[in-house]
Structure 1
Amino acid sequence: MASPANLDIRPAAAEAHTLFKQACQAVPRPTLLPVCISVPSDLLTPSAIYLKLSNGATAEYSFLLESATGSTETVGRYSFIGANPRKVLATGPGYEDVGDPLQALQAQLSQDRVISIPSLKLPALTGGAVGYISYDCIKYFEPKTARPLKDNLHIPEALFMVFDTIVAFDHFCQTLTIVTHMRLPENPTDDFQKPYDEACTTIRSTLERIKQPETPLPPKDVGGPASEQEYSSNVGRHGYESFVTALKSHIVKGDIIQAVPSQRFSRGTTLHPFNIYRTLRTLNPSPYLFFLSCAAFHIVGASPECLMKTDGYAALPVDTRFGYTAEQQAQLRPRIVNHAIAGTIRRGANPAEDDELAAELQGSTKDRAEHVMLVDLARNDVNRVCHPSTVKVDRLMRIDRFSHVQHLTSEVSGLLRPECTRWDAMRSIWGPQDQGDGVVYDLGTREEGLTQGPRDGLRLYVVRVGSRGSEVSAG
């Protein structure tokens, strides 16, 4: 690994200054310029880098995002690590921002515009906001679903950490890239060298911490002796069964098409949250693995799907039926992608049994009907914010294999309408239809908090660490 004193930091000072002068002529004017360094990572692991940057997973605010993909549970190309954000945005009752968390996040992120430097070939995530939005925020996106609910978790409805510096671990190229964003001077005549030097110092100090020979480990135990208590449900067996009975009645009446009632299982533990994450990523490697330290609590999870993403740009089709001008139709619009997963069967003991079970799943009338229903809902959600003639099912009922189960998966996409934003797309795709949400909320008295919806296998979502140990919630 290169010495911090002799790093090939890009862009070099002269090139960065030229980019700054060009940016001064742009409208709107960029406010941030990425500065980066790439070094070999063949002797490192993402977990070790995270522990070094977070001082043994003790930093108040930090994150680690990883991925295992494909039927062989191969590692995804990138892992991302960040610690000590520039700003933390928490929303909900009792916090500075109350209401729609996407409005607060949009206001925060809209303050900055980053200069694009294609020659750097940076990964998709180099800075910005990393965090969560709880399920209960659906009440801000669909006001008709709002219900008076008791908050038993006592955590923010949403929390985002805003990072200027992120480390990207490239498993394919065996390199790690440290990216920081220097804040550009307000005036062309202001001192440019000072903020550039500060960005270089940030890169050097980050690399110096990563190069430390010792990796600080998280505490083996937190709090007192391990608890012997059993897992407890927040609704209990009787409560859950009554949910199912009531929902079946609503389906018969035609109020809803389908619903998945949830429950939260909790128990005390003295394990440090990062050690729980390490076990989870071993037992259940998934396309979306995450560990977030949010000061008073941690979020640990493994999910097979991405709720929504933007993937490329394209011009809208020439179509006079929808009233868009020629200029609007010529604009490049983001492609919004939504993934649908419904229909599950276990993995086989060998490839032949895998194929037999997959054929059984694909031939299941129940699972196919449930999946088609979900795809129709996804098309409806995407259609609300995308140009109708571009909404399509790109992939229908493909078998995807994960560590313990096989799923039927589909992909729905569309090009965002000129009058809509990515924030609108997130609100549209966030949760089930408003009538269904209202019915589910009418059955409960507690906020759902952090949830990914129903999934098979082990998912640990929230670990709250306190003086009496930790509480692990799953659902």
Structure 2
Amino acid sequence: MQCVAQLRTSWRDPVEVLSAFAEEPWAIGFVSGGGGPRGRWSYVARAPEATFTGAPGQDPFEGLAELLGPASLSLADGPPFQGGVAGLACYELGDVVEPLGLSRTGWPDLAAGRYPAVLAFDHELGEVAAVGRGADATAAQAQAERALAWLDLVPEPPAGGALARGLSASDPDAYEAAVAQVVARIHAGEIFQANIARAWSGRLAPGAAPFDLFARLAGQSAAPFAAYLRLPGLAVVSNSPERFLQARDGVVETRPIKGTRPRGRSADEDACLARQLSASDKDRAENLMIVDLMRNDLARVCAPGSVRVPELFAVESFANVHHLVSTVTGRLAAGQGAVDLLRAAFPPGSITGAPKVQAMKVIAGLETPRGPYCGSLFWAGVDGALDSSVLIRTAAFVQDAEGWSVEARAGAGIVADSDPRAERLETEAKIAALLRALEGTAA
């Protein structure tokens, strides 16, 4: 049983702190924007004591469970994440859950590190907690002091101007044709819904780094599940508004997003668009299908009768769009933990479709491998706690001899009465904030 120690100090900005070592392999940050009960905590960590990267022929979930190790105690007055594993689950990890023969690119299905030292930023109290774990009290205290020392590192100033120029978008006509094909397959009874995405790609400007985009997004359009991960030769920058799975004290929550409207140009237009979204039968039906899917996924690992839907069709507003969000909860059954929960529900239903497996087959026939997009950045504590995002509003970076290439995608949930042009415009509304940040243009 590990020991845990905590040291508290005054507030620092988590993005600024992370900037000092953001280019180190395995540097990671979960930075919550917007406040509220889901935006209280941010986390920063570096230099894990062990790592796991899934390889062909392995079960990545078993590797993750081994990396996490046995359950241990946590501090009652500590943050939700008090050390454990954190990392990336790419979309194609779903091929392990339900073998579909999905193609891969250079991204691992799963990559995670075990972090014995973590900085936790309490937005509500305006404090920073340095948390350490070790075999005994002395070792735990040393790890907490190691994390506290990260606050003394010199932050890197963010880059100015354009981070990328001339990003190319996938063919809009081809996307509309793909939407029309999916609508036809829905009418034929093959599926009820599928989330189909478009891609934007290009290269970062010389001297620009992935973290520059993360810092800029945090300042321009902060999101509750923003996250950053630097891997060797790879990086993920996410400005996601969507929670995938949370577990704490055995209680599970997922908050699928389905239904979107752009923000208005005036307060009156903005309120009108939000009302339209709330009243839309199409968007409610789309949302309800995914709620039912997530209820079924949670029921695989939750106690019988414990899965509930306490909130349905809530309108939540973000920097660029309004979304329709529902909440599904449950209680983990005896013997089930965070890794079991991830396996049961991956990939997120909101970005696949219904039925999930057949929707994934449709997606695979229309898109190139997604990699990080529509996967998850997550942390899992040694005390059984878990939180994770859905990797939408996300850019994936690959490093080569000439610098960094970047790809970002945006998708739309296609249902029986979807209009191809309207769905294409929805993808453009969703990607707009990320493109503005990359290209250095004003809103």
Tell me the TM-score normalized by structure 1: 0.74
* 1:344 match: secondary structure: strand
C-alpha contact (below 8 Å) 2:311/2:326 kept by paired residues: yes
**2:95 is the alignment partner of 1:139:** yes
* 1:262 match: secondary structure: strand
Task: Output aligned runs, 1:441-456, within 5 Å.
Answer: 441-444=364-367, 446-452=368-374
C-alpha contact (below 8 Å) 1:347/1:404 kept by paired residues: yes
Task: Output aligned runs, 1:301-340, within 5 Å.
Answer: 301-312=238-249, 334-340=250-256
The whole-number CA distance in structure 2 between the counterparts of 1:415 and 1:282 is 36
* 1:246 match: secondary structure: helix
Task: Output aligned runs, 1:248-259, within 5 Å.
Answer: 248-259=183-194
Task: Output aligned runs, 1:227-246, within 5 Å.
Answer: 229-233=166-170, 236-237=171-172, 239-246=174-181
Q: 1:45 to 1:371 in 2, by over 3 A?
A: same
- TM-superposed CA distance for 1:409, in Å, is 1.0
Give 1:464's aligned residue. 398
Give 2:113's aligned residue. 161
Q: 1:100 to 1:265 in 2, by over 3 A?
A: farther
The whole-number CA distance in structure 1 between the counterparts of 2:164 and 2:224 is 32
Q: Deviations over 1:283-340 (max 9, x none)?
A: 321110111111211110011111111144xxxxxxxxxxxxxxxxxxxxx2221212
Give 2:218's aligned residue. 281
Give 1:474's aligned residue. 408
Q: 1:75 to 1:40 in 2, by over 3 A?
A: farther
Q: Deviations over 1:97-131 (max 9, x none)?
A: x4332121012212x4323342xx11011211111
The whole-number CA distance in structure 2 between the counterparts of 1:230 and 1:128 is 37
- TM-superposed CA distance for 1:63, in Å, is 1.0
Flag the structure with higher strand content. Answer: 2
* 2:242 match: secondary structure: coil
Give 2:380's aligned residue. none
Task: Output aligned runs, 1:178-217, within 5 Å.
Answer: 178-184=130-136, 196-211=137-152, 214-217=154-157
Q: 1:242 to 1:89 in 2, by over 3 A?
A: same
Greater RCO, 1 or 2 (C-alpha within 8 Å, sep 6+): 2
C-alpha contact (below 8 Å) 1:220/1:272 kept by paired residues: no
**2:66 is the alignment partner of 1:102:** no
The whole-number CA distance in structure 2 between the counterparts of 1:37 and 1:419 is 32
**2:18 is the alignment partner of 1:78:** no
Give 1:116's aligned residue. 74
* 1:247 match: secondary structure: helix
Task: Output aligned runs, 1:340-355, within 5 Å.
Answer: 340-349=256-265, 351-355=267-271
C-alpha contact (below 8 Å) 2:40/2:122 kept by paired residues: yes
**2:6 is the alignment partner of 1:48:** no
The whole-number CA distance in structure 1 between the counterparts of 2:189 and 2:314 is 30
- TM-superposed CA distance for 1:473, in Å, is 1.1
Give 2:27's aligned residue. 62
- TM-superposed CA distance for 1:417, in Å, is 2.9
The AA in structure 2 aligned to 1:146 is G
Task: Output aligned runs, 1:298-447, within 5 Å.
Answer: 298-312=235-249, 334-349=250-265, 351-418=267-334, 420-431=336-347, 432=352, 433-444=356-367, 446-447=368-369
Q: 1:92 to 1:218 in 2, by over 3 A?
A: farther
**Over alpha carbons, which structure has the higher Rg?**
1
What is the count of residue pairs matched by the alignment?
387
Which runs of 5 or more residues in structure 1 are unaligned? 1-29, 185-195, 313-333
The whole-number CA distance in structure 2 between the counterparts of 1:299 and 1:335 is 29
Q: 1:247 to 1:171 in 2, by over 3 A?
A: same
C-alpha contact (below 8 Å) 1:58/1:218 kept by paired residues: no
Give 1:10's aligned residue. none
The whole-number CA distance in structure 2 between the counterparts of 1:166 and 1:210 is 12
The AA in structure 2 aligned to 1:130 is A
Greater Cα shift, 435-444 or 334-343? 435-444
- TM-superposed CA distance for 1:373, in Å, is 1.9
Give 1:7's aligned residue. none
The AA in structure 2 aligned to 1:434 is V
C-alpha contact (below 8 Å) 1:68/1:75 kept by paired residues: no
Which runs of 5 or more residues in structure 2 are unaligned? 376-388, 410-443
Greater Cα shift, 462-471 or 380-389? 380-389
C-alpha contact (below 8 Å) 1:85/1:162 kept by paired residues: yes
Give 2:382's aligned residue. none
* 1:389 match: secondary structure: coil
- TM-superposed CA distance for 1:419, in Å, is 5.7
